[in-house]
Chain A
Amino acid sequence: MSLYDKTAHELHELLQTKKISAAELVADVLSHVDEVEDKIGAYVTITRDKATADAKAVDEKISRGEKIAPLEGIPCAIKDNICTKGIRTTCASKILENFVPPYDATAYQKLSTSILIGKANMDEFAMGSSTENSAYHTTHNPRDLERVPGGSSGGSTAAVAGGEAIFALGSDTGGSIRQPASFCGVVGFKPTYGRVSRYGLVAFASSLDQIGPITRDVTDCALVLNAICGHDDMDSTSTAAQVPDFTKSLVADVKGLKIGLPKEYFVKGIDAEIETAVRNVAKKFEQLGAEIVELSLPHTEYAIATYYLIAPAEAATNLERYDGVSYGARVDGADVVEMMTNTRTEKFGEEVKRRIMIGNYALSAGYYDAYYLKALKVRTLIQKDFTDAFGKVDLILTPTTPNTAFKIGEMTADPLKMYLQDICTVPVNLAGLPGISIPCGVTSQNLPIGFQLIGKPLDEATILKAAFTCEQSL
């Protein structure tokens, strides 16, 4: 019996009714990790001993007849930019190679009864769309090992798709949960900005970053959201809004729901098989009683340029802290400036340096108005597109990505081409909205296709309801 490919809600039943033990479950997942990790490379660090010990504690609780929480005892992967106390957190960067956080990120702490299998690989500092920018190794897509899993949460999604974890946490600044979820054929959710505390999430672009779940189905997605959402005093940008019980959204009913299809997301450059698959999803929604509304988000074509000014500007500022002084690597130098320069030059990867340079250029005197301020203003226009659209519809349906998983090495020579990968996902972060990627079949080459549902601010519930309905019927 293999347990590693089941969902969290199935495993919860098995654990609570004592059909399996947490120890068996963890042993099964770890033995599968031993079998496939050489080929997939989902993890930077595997926390084998801790996982085994934690499983024992859960089993003791069950044997005492106590009820366990829905995700208690369930093996998970945590992206390596989410701080785990006492467990190395590298951001897949050489500059944090030996960094052991003295505290837990709030989102991880809220999952403390789940069982950590390991810290998942990623693009360095979450900058990338393929996980090829990891300073340690490239993660391979479990669905086709010659291809990338997407990124930057590629390790987290590969772990879930490859049976190396039941669910995972990723982070999404411009699509880093949704894009790899679509490449690997799993569910990935970016909640509304501020829904999940960013405390302990290593900052990339603070106005865009959001932690979210990567799971095998929509039910698990709701369970993880229930666990991690909510206000946190430690993050002043976390919203005080009430968090509903997201499992209440797990009903198959889209009758009367208005779903918008923005024409700008179905243009030249979108893979024909993806377009067909997503249009079929729209038809399916229509058959199930939803109303499909054609609409326009006219500033979509400016989203990539806006994002690739704002995100690097925030990143350049956030990454100033890696100066070789209080934590992280240090490379010696004759004076303090030389020490900092040596440290950053040797320990940051190429893409991270590129974004720091773009960011500081866009922020520097003489260029600030033309680049950074201009981008902030266009951000207003992009957001207004969504506000206008949500006056007419409840949800927006798009492809998650313009193409399916590409071959390892195919895009690395052209950073701009890689940036254009994010066209369907980036606008959602700029507007702070919730968005999910759900699998909707495969191409003729057997590569997973994902569609994206975008919701109104704080309306994760409607997204989950539509996603659940679709999942039940596909």
Chain B
Amino acid sequence: MKISEQDIKTVASLSRLRIREEEKDDVLFQLNKILTYVENLQALDTANVEPTTYALPMQNVFRADVVKPSLERELALSNAPLKEDGYFKVPRVLEA
């Protein structure tokens, strides 16, 4: 077993997901199967290999620090699940 029930709980919590009791076995089974499959990479010696994050050469892109028009507030808020006075509204974050 690559991944334990406890690992699943931790990763789910990091992912802001809840695994239902009845799904637990299947999630564990599928993730283990996939993680076992990807083990085949361990057969390769990569001690002297640099990682590649982008396939093509990338460099930082700079631009002049000037104000340009951006999305207007009403439009930016148009998909908000809940809004008030021009702000996104969320449930309590800090304890009272």
B58 adjacent to chain A (CB < 8 Å): yes
Interface membership of B18, Cβ < 8 A = yes
A260 to B39, CA, bound (A): 30
Residues of A within 8 A of B34 (CB): 308, 354, 358, 415-416, 419
Task: Say yes or no: B80 contacts A327, CB within 8 Å.
Answer: yes
A341 in contact with B46 given A192-B56, A415-B34 (CB within 8 Å): no
Q: Evaluate contact between B44 and A316: CB separation under 8 angstroms.
A: no
Nearest Cβ distance between residue A452 and chain B, in whole angstroms?
Answer: 17
Q: How many CB-defined contacts (below 8 Å) exist between A and B?
A: 164
- Of chain B, the residue at the smallest CB distance from A322 is B16
Interface residues of A in 308-342 (CB under 8 A from B): 308-309, 316, 323-330, 332-342
Report whether A324 and B81 are in contact in the complex, using a CB–CB cutoff of 8 Å.
yes
Find chain B residues with CB under 8 A from A432 CB. Answer: 54-56
Question: Within 8 Å of chain B (Cβ to Cβ): is A287?
Answer: no
**A373 / chain B contacts, CB cutoff of 8 Å:** 51
Question: Do the beta carbons of A378 and B31 come within 8 Å of each other?
Answer: no
- Given the contacts A301-B40, A305-B41, A416-B37, A380 and B51 also touching, CB distance less than 8 Å: yes
B16 and A340 contacting across the interface, CB-CB below 8 Å: yes
Interface assignment of A122: CB less than 8 Å from any CB of chain B: no
- Chain A residue nearest in CB terms to B55: A432
Point out the residues of chain B lying under 8 angstroms from A344, CB to CB: 15-17
Q: Number of contacting residues on A, CB 8 A? A: 72
Q: How many whole Å from A382's CB to the nearest CB in chain B? A: 9
List B residues 16-42 near A (Cβ within 8 Å).
16-18, 27, 30-31, 33-35, 37-42
Q: Residues of B contacting A348 with CB < 8 Å? A: 17
CB-nearest residue of chain B to A305:
B38
Known contacts: A100-B79, A376-B53. The answer to whether A336 contacts B61 by CB under 8 A is no
Q: Using Cβ atoms and an 8 Å threshold, which residues of chain A touch B8? A: 357
Tell me, rounded to whole Å, the shortest Cβ–Cβ distance linking A288 to chain B: 31
Q: Shortest CB–CB separation between residue A348 and chain B, in angstroms?
A: 7
Closest to A96 in B: B79
Inter-subunit contact A364/B14 (CB<8 Å) = yes
Q: Are A326 and B80 in contact (CB under 8 A)?
A: yes
Task: Tell yes or no: A353 within 8 A of B by CB.
Answer: yes
Contact B37 A361 (CB under 8 A): no
* B-chain residues with CB within 8 Å of residue A357 when the two chains form the complex: 8, 11-12, 15, 17, 27, 31
A299 to B40, CA, bound (A): 11
Please report the C-alpha to C-alpha distance between residue A380 and residue B48 in the assembled complex, in whole angstroms.
Answer: 11
Indicate if the CB atoms of A371 and B90 lie closer than 8 Å.
no
Q: How far is the CA of A415 from the CA of B37 in the complex (A)?
A: 12
**Chain A residues whose C-beta falls within 8 Å of the C-beta of B31 in the assembled complex:** 354, 357-358, 361
> B52: CB under 8 A from chain A?
yes
For the complex, is B71 an interface residue (Cβ under 8 Å from A)? Answer: yes
CA distance A309 to B31 in the complex (A): 12
A381–B49 touching, CB < 8 Å: yes
Closest A residue to B60 by CB, please name it. Answer: A236
Q: A395: CB under 8 A from chain B? A: no
Within 8 A of B (CB), among A84-118: 98-100, 102-103
Q: Which residues of B from 67 to 96 have beta carbons under 8 Å from A?
A: 71, 75-76, 78-82, 88, 90-93
Q: Which residues of A contact B92 (CB under 8 A)?
A: 335-336
Mark each residue of chain B from 1 to 14: 1 if its CB lies under 8 Å from any CB of chain A, else 0. Answer: 00100011011101
Q: Are B56 and A457 in contact (CB under 8 A)?
A: yes
Interface membership of A216, Cβ < 8 A: no
For A102, what are the chain B residues with a Cβ–Cβ distance below 8 Å?
71, 75-76, 78-79
Residue of B nearest to A357 (CB): B11
User: A430 near B: Cβ within 8 Å?
Assistant: yes
Inter-chain CA distance A419–B76, complex, in Å, is 37
From known contacts A345-B17, A357-B12, infer whether A329 and B52 are also in contact, taking CB-CB under 8 Å.
no
Chain B residues whose C-beta falls within 8 Å of the C-beta of A353 in the assembled complex = 15, 17
Bound-state CA distance A374–B60 (Å) is 25
Query: Is B50 an interface residue when CB atoms closer than 8 A count as contact?
Result: yes
- Which of B8, B38, B92 has the most A CB atoms < 10 Å from its CB? B38
A356→B17 CA distance, assembly (Å): 9
Instruction: Give the distance to chain B from A270, nearest Cβ to Cβ, in Å.
Output: 19
Cβ-defined partner of B54 (8 Å) among A207, A336, A374:
A207
Write the chain A residue with the least CB distance to B50: A380
Would you give 17 A-B contacts (Cβ < 8 Å), ordered by A? Answer: A308-B38, A309-B41, A324-B90, A327-B79, A332-B91, A340-B16, A341-B16, A341-B18, A354-B34, A371-B35, A375-B38, A378-B46, A379-B55, A380-B51, A415-B33, A416-B33, A416-B37
Residues of chain B having any CB pair with chain A under 8 Å: 3, 7-8, 10-12, 14-18, 27, 30-31, 33-35, 37-42, 44, 46, 49-56, 58, 60-61, 63, 71, 75-76, 78-82, 88, 90-93
Supply 10 further A-B pairs (C-beta < 8 A) apart from A99-B79, A377-B46.
A302-B41, A325-B81, A327-B80, A328-B81, A337-B16, A341-B18, A344-B15, A348-B17, A383-B52, A432-B54
